[in-house]
């Protein structure tokens, strides 16, 4: 068990660079999650806008087909 703890601590320490590497990983993960959240939000807004435009188009088509030519 001591050997496992030592290797885990060595991995976290990363030869003295762990204080730089782990925060960089953290910032990278936070940015990726932020980009994902913003992308999903934008996609949902675009889908809602598309639905509104499609409903308006359907309504116009319905009025056009009812008018005698």
Q: What are phi and psi of 3, to 5 degrees?
A: -65, -40
Domain total of the chain = 1
In 10 A of CB 18, how many CB atoms? 14
**Residues making up the chain, counted from first to last:** 69
Residue 43 within any structural domain of the chain = yes
21 within some domain: yes
Domain that holds residue 31: 17-66
Q: Nearest 5°: phi and psi at 42?
A: -65, -40
Query: pTM to 2 decimals?
Result: 0.69
pLDDT in tens, the chain (69 residues): 889 999 999 989 999 999 999 999 999 999 999 999 999 999 999 999 999 999 999 999 988 766 555
Residues 46, 48, 50: CA angle, nearest 5 degrees: 70
Residue 66 structure tokens: 């009812």
Does 49 reside within a domain? yes
């Amino acid at each position: 068990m001591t050997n496992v703890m030592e290797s885990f601590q060595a991995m976290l320490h990363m030869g003295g660079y762990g204080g730089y590497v782990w925060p960089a990983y953290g910032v990278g993960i936070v940015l990726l999650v932020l980009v994902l959240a913003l992308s999903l939000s934008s996609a949902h807004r675009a889908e809602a806008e598309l639905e509104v435009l499609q409903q308006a188009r359907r309504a116009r088509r319905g009025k056009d087909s009812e008018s005698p030519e």
